[in-house]
Chain A
Amino acid sequence: MNAILKKLVQEEVQNLISRHQEAIHALVKEMLVSEIRRAIRMEMPDLLNDGFDARSEDCSECWSEDRSDVGADVPSDSLIIDTPPVAGYPEASPKPASKKDIPVSPDNHTQTDCRYLYAIAGSDKTIQLGPIGIENASVYTIASNGLSAVVHACTSQPYQSSDPEIARGWLLTHQRVVEAAFEQLGDVIPAGFDTIINGEGALNPDETVQIWLNTEHDALISKLDRISGKQEYGVQIFWDSKQIAARIATENEAIRSLNEAIRSKPEGAAYMYRQKLADMLKNEIEQAADRHFQSFYQIVQPVADMLRIEKIRHSSETGADQMIMNLSCLLSPENQQRLSQELESIDGMEGFSVKFTGPWPPYSFV
């Protein structure tokens, strides 16, 4: 039986391969390319700082979006507020710059009449943050009416690169500048990567930014109010799924008795019932994960000023603890204290661990 089956399968496989060789070649190529792309996307966050990964992933998406939207020859007048990621600035267009065909070359930074926006701060201090920007650009603030924009002077050419290493470096720099602004200026609304305010043709591009700050003043202030005095934290809860499975296997009556019964079954039947056992166990584990999610959520929710459920990321390492919950929380200092105590008690539970990261600028809540 075994030998015949083996031969049959082998023959079938060989036939398949020879019959569809070309299609298979094409398929494999196609799959490999997308695999590699995916791998890079998946790996990028891991290479970045912990706790930042979700956001940088988002930014990398923006980055690739930009790349498809904005071709190589960017019309120099097309970029007012260039990217969508700053939520809620849809009508953020200071009067369009005049349509001159100024040739823009990426290496030539003479036309620095645009401003790359890192964040909006709720303070109108005018300060220099030094050459900490993308490609060592000098970062400074433009203040107006109780608000300031954290920017560097740039061309209208968006930052884009087909080299993921370079793009990753830019993203990191962007995040560091936002953090620096957050440390020195207090509450900030972080801007998405590649947000460029177009001041082309204007005599003083800084003024264009000020005008924009004034037009958007009320909307920006109300956003800042919402996050004022609060900081973002990441809460990730993991469990050791092997340990949980072992516990369920001994505690669940149905699973234990089936496990007993299998011992006396003939080989083939035992195989089938083992499958059934595995299914039951998997089901129980999922239910347990759900129950824990609910109960942890009940704990976190009352002490968070704002809460967002993020996608669970699966670790590529096998045997690593499995994430069952991923939250972004906006917290006032006193709530931060309370939450961290609650989380400590969860962390103390057998088989569970908690990662509490932050404070971050409130990326997830603006």
Chain B
Amino acid sequence: MAINLDEDNLKQGVLGLVIALVQIIRDALRIQAMKRMEGGGLTEDEIDRLGRTLMDMDEVIEDIIREQGLTETVRSVRNGLDGLVDDFLDQMIHPGNVRKR
């Protein structure tokens, strides 16, 4: 299947991919932060600082997405990755009905 990729398209795609990856890293950081908070090893002050940092990160990512008009691209990359992980997990959990692709 051939796809037409013009210059603009490519830039969007690359940026979208990078931002999606940055988002995923951000999510991983957030999960770590949550774990530490739940573990009770953080003071309220530290929790506040962590929260602010993550918030700032959210803001930066949102800014880039808005400025570059990447909402759709990022969404499709992430949906694609989610689908991939879904399929993968499905195969791990139900090894019986692995489908030929």
Hey, which bits of chain A sit against chain B, CB under 8 A? 1-2, 5-6, 9-10, 13, 16-17, 21, 24-25, 27-29, 31-38, 61, 64-65, 68, 265-272, 275-276, 279
Contact = CB atoms under 8 A, between A and B. Distances in A.
B92 interface: no
Interface of B: 1, 3, 5, 10, 13-15, 17-19, 22, 30, 33-34, 37-38, 44, 47-57, 59-61, 63-64, 76-77, 80, 83, 99-101
A200 B30 CA distance: 65
Majority DSSP secondary structure for residues of B touching A = helix
A37 B84 CA distance: 13
Given A24-B17, A36-B1, A268 B63 contact: no
Contacts of B60: 2, 5-6, 9-10
20 contacts: A5-B60, A9-B22, A9-B64, A10-B60, A13-B19, A13-B64, A17-B15, A21-B14, A24-B18, A25-B14, A31-B17, A31-B80, A35-B80, A37-B1, A61-B100, A265-B48, A268-B50, A269-B44, A272-B37, A276-B38
Nearest to A69: B100
A16 B80 contact: no
Contacts of A266: 48
B13 A28 contact: yes
Nearest to A9: B60
A37 to B, nearest CB: 7
Contacts of A34: 80
Nearest to A270: B51
Contacts of B80: 31, 34-35, 38
Given A37-B1, A275-B30, 17 more contacts: A2-B60, A5-B57, A5-B60, A6-B59, A9-B22, A9-B57, A9-B61, A13-B19, A16-B18, A24-B14, A36-B3, A38-B83, A269-B47, A271-B52, A272-B47, A272-B50, A272-B54
Given A10-B64, A16-B18, A35 B76 contact: yes
